[in-house]
Chain A
Amino acid sequence: MEKFQDQFSQVLHANLDLLTTKCLEASTENAHARGEQLNAEGMRQIVEGLVNIIDEALEGTSSELLQTYLHTVVPGLVRRGRDAASLSYTGVSTSIYFAHVLERELPPHLRDDAIAWFAHFFARFTAEAVEAANKAQGR
């Protein structure tokens, strides 16, 4: 049986520009956001990092990239005024954009497994990001 992992990764890497634009919009419209907005280059790096974390999770052999992200990007965002509510807002909207791209571009026979995997991955990721934000805020 064909597995979804390879095409999953290809679809996300091929749509980095679109996903960056959508995440930037989500960040701009984030009613919980405080402090300065991320610029396009910064958001591109954050999205590229997220896609690489997804690759790492698809391989399932390490969480080094995830840990780096949680210990660098999240505290940086917190210092610029983001909090757990703000990261949750952006996380939910980001996950829907990602899922939409996957649903649109993956072959039909891979979609169910891919979306099920992604839903659980992103829920875990958002929970860990919220935990890291609270820790960075000293809560």
Chain B
Amino acid sequence: MGSPCFNEIVRQCGLSEVFAEDTIMRAFERIGLRPEQVTPAHIPQVLPQLERTLRIFLPKDQVAGRLAAIAALATSPVLR
């Protein structure tokens, strides 16, 4: 039900598939977006919220790498 960009963020986030989609969805809801509306252009806007969210569940040394992978999706030609 999410856009290709949203689904790719779910795949890249490093969270268990049990709750990854709900968690990423909640982060985007905080900035007023539904999963199907998410495009690469929204990624910079959601990164601070995603960082707070990933810090709940991931060891601190994994968070920066996951955020960098998600940030790189903003310029991914595949998702444009």
Contact = CB atoms under 8 A, between A and B. Distances in A.
B26 A68 contact: yes
B7 interface: no
Contacts of B22: 71-73, 75-76
A77 interface: yes
B56 A41 contact: no
Interface in A11-52: 38-39, 41-42, 45-46, 48-49, 52
Interface residues of B, number: 16
Interface string B15-40: 11111011100100000000000000
Interface in B36-80: 52-53, 55-59
Interface residues on A, range: 20 to 34
Contacts of A76: 16, 18-19, 21-22
Contacts of B57: 45-46, 48-49, 52
A80 interface: yes
Per CB-CB distance, the 7 closest pairs between chain A and chain B, nearest first, are: A42-B16, A76-B19, A72-B22, A76-B18, A45-B57, A72-B23, A72-B19
20 contacts: A39-B16, A41-B16, A45-B16, A46-B16, A46-B18, A46-B19, A46-B57, A49-B56, A52-B55, A52-B56, A53-B56, A68-B56, A72-B23, A75-B19, A75-B22, A76-B16, A76-B19, A76-B22, A77-B19, A80-B18
Interface of B: 15-19, 21-23, 26, 52-53, 55-59
Interface of A: 38-39, 41-42, 45-46, 48-49, 52-53, 64-65, 68-69, 71-73, 75-77, 80
